[in-house]
Structures are given as C-alpha cells and as structure tokens.
Amino acid sequence: MKIKEIIELKRAIDSLSAAKTPIWYELGKNKTTIERSVEPLFEDFNKARQLVIENLAEKDENGQFKVEDNKYVFGSNTEEAKNLLIELETEFLNKDVELDLHKISEEKFKTLQELNFEANLMLPIIEFLT
C-alpha cells in the first residue's frame, strides 16, 4: 500500500471514528497500526525536507532563515529547492508500506453502509479493509 493511500485511509478512519460507528474497534485498531507504521516514515521525510531547507534557504545577518509570507526564501536556489522538495514528496507519497490491517467483516460493513456516509469516506474503507 502506498503512503498516499494510507493517508487517504487514515482520513476516512478518523472521520468514521468520530461518528461512533458499529466498527469503532476495527477502526481504532487500524488507526493504531497506521500511526505506528507510518510515523517513523514521516519523521524521515521531514528530516530530508529540513536538510533541503538548511542547505538552500537564505539566511539573514543573524543566521536565521529568511521567511516571507510564511515561506522560506531560497533566492537563486528557488528552482533547485522546489525540484528537490517535489521529488522528495513524490517519492515519499509513492513509497510502498506493508501494513497488517484488521479487516472488517461483511456483516459489520453492511451496518456501516446503512449509515449513509459520503462515498469519499467509504471508498478507502471498501478498498483496504473489506
């Protein structure tokens, strides 16, 4: 499963969990599995992003990174930084991760369908948990 799919699934799990569904246990178990598996990968991604910033962002006379409109200033390194950050994000989101997800029984899934959740919440649940 790719990280971008895991993010989509976690959003659906978070939304459905807030609704106190009949599959709260399965959702909670999967949420914990996702968080434990993916959190270290997010940390690695953020470290790599920070390296790009540290190496390419401009600094002021006090050695602090220049920021304008809540964005780092890269000056003549803007294009290089942009390309590196896009490449990092693309690689990260497309990284395959094996997860041992708890499947939802057909019987419990039917009770969930009766609650008429939006399709964008149901599709990741259908695809990965049934």
For the stretch 34-88, pLDDT in tens is: 999 999 999 999 999 999 999 999 999 999 999 999 999 999 999 999 999 999 9
Neighbours of 94 (CB within 10 A): 11
- Of 22, 7, 14, 19, the closest CA to residue 99 belongs to 7
The per-residue pLDDT for 75 is 94
Write the pLDDT tens digit of every residue in 1-14.
999 999 999 988 88
| Sequence ranges of the domains in the chain | 3-129
Reading the block at residue 23, the tokens are 């599959």
Task: Give pLDDT, residue 108.
Answer: 79
Query: Mean pLDDT, to the nearest integer, of 92-118?
Result: 82
